[in-house]
């Protein structure tokens, strides 16, 4: 399974994000990002980008074994083993199709089953009004900061709204260095300044989208 790669995929958000990431740069990564944004079928660009793990969830479905259990005693060969596989499924891909792929990869001798119900949805389209509102909200606190869309590789409740036909977008007001964030860790934190700036951020954003009335 480690050697299997799901098909390359893209949407308006990922192509726009890759183009934005490449702006103002001319290193090999930027060149590959530009080529993918212009032509996602560029196999050389795909191969280069895929060699960096952080790019993989933006280009395809990924499945990784995150937990392994096996054996019943320290002095005996294991009679069975269980692997928990976490899949980050690209928007628009059905979970049962991913399950079928995993079955074909591991072979008939291995049982594959979902741990619970899996849900899916298509990606939301990029909207100029949403981008303009986000830009206004961010610039209210941080004038001149560059704004561009990006696709989250994590799961959110937004998929249920998208599945119901309601375009859904994730927006954050917190400014923090990656080295200070510790997301999902024991010391996850939010800067006090970002908390208070967030009050302005959300007022501007909601007013821009909902209207002053």
Question: What pLDDT is stored for residue 183 in this prediction?
Answer: 82
- How many structural domains comprise the chain? 2
Question: What pLDDT is stored for residue 1 in this prediction?
Answer: 64
Torsion of CA 148, 182, 3, 43, to 10 degrees: 20
Cα–Cα distances (Å) from 94 to 72, 120, 121, 122, 180, in that order, read 36, 6, 8, 10, 36
Same domain, 157 and 116: no
Same domain, 112 and 153: no
Question: What pLDDT is stored for residue 64 in this prediction?
Answer: 92
Residues 107 and 96: their CA atoms lie apart, in Å, by: 16
Helices (H), the chain: 12-21, 28-38, 43-50, 95-106, 128-141, 158-163, 178-181, 192-210
Give the residue from 59, 107, 68 showing the smallest Cα distance to 86.
Answer: 68
Question: What pLDDT is stored for residue 177 in this prediction?
Answer: 87
Same domain, 59 and 137: no
Residues 131 and 138: their CA atoms lie apart, in Å, by: 11
Q: Give the residue from 89, 120, 151 where a domain finishes.
A: 120
Q: What is the DSSP letter of 116?
A: S
**What angle in degrees, to the nearest 10, is found between the helix axes of 128-141 and 192-210?**
140
Same domain, 113 and 169: no
Same domain, 197 and 139: yes
Is 26 in contact with 119 (CB distance < 8 Å)?
Answer: no
Is 118 in contact with 95 (CB distance < 8 Å)?
Answer: yes
Same domain, 194 and 116: no
pLDDT of the chain, 213 residues: tens digit per residue: 678 899 999 999 999 999 999 999 999 999 999 999 999 999 999 999 999 988 999 999 999 999 999 999 999 999 999 999 999 999 999 999 999 999 999 999 899 999 999 899 999 999 999 999 999 999 999 999 999 999 988 888 999 999 999 999 999 899 988 888 888 888 888 999 999 999 999 999 999 999 766
Q: Give the residue from 120, 139, 165 where a domain finishes.
A: 120
Question: What pLDDT is stored for residue 212 in this prediction?
Answer: 65
Same domain, 163 and 200: yes
Question: What pLDDT is stored for residue 114 in this prediction?
Answer: 94
Question: What pLDDT is stored for residue 140 in this prediction?
Answer: 96
Domain, as residue range, for 188: 128-210
Same domain, 10 and 115: yes
Question: What pLDDT is stored for residue 75 in this prediction?
Answer: 95
Question: What pLDDT is stored for residue 213 in this prediction?
Answer: 64
Q: Give the residue from 65, 89, 120 where a domain finishes.
A: 120
């Amino acid at each position: 399974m480690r050697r299997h790669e799901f098909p390359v995929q893209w949407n308006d958000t990922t192509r726009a994000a890759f183009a934005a990431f490449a702006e103002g740069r001319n290193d090999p990564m930027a060149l590959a990002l530009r080529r993918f944004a212009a032509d996602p079928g560029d196999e050389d660009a795909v191969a280069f980008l895929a060699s960096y793990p952080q790019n993989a969830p933006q280009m395809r479905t990924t499945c990784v074994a995150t937990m392994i259990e096996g054996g019943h005693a320290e002095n005996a060969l294991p009679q069975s083993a269980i692997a928990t596989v976490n899949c980050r499924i690209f928007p628009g891909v059905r979970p049962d199709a991913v399950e079928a792929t995993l079955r074909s990869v591991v072979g008939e001798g291995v049982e594959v089953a979902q741990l619970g119900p899996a849900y899916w949805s298509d990606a939301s389209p990029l909207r100029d009004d949403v981008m303009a509102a986000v830009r206004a909200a961010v610039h209210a606190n941080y004038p001149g900061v560059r704004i561009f869309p990006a696709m989250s590789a994590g799961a959110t409740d937004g998929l249920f709204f998208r599945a119901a036909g309601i375009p859904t977008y994730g927006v954050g007001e917190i400014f923090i260095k990656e080295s200070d964030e510790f997301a999902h860790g024991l010391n996850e934190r939010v800067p006090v300044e970002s908390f208070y700036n967030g009050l302005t951020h959300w007022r501007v954003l909601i007013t821009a989208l909902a209207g002053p009335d």
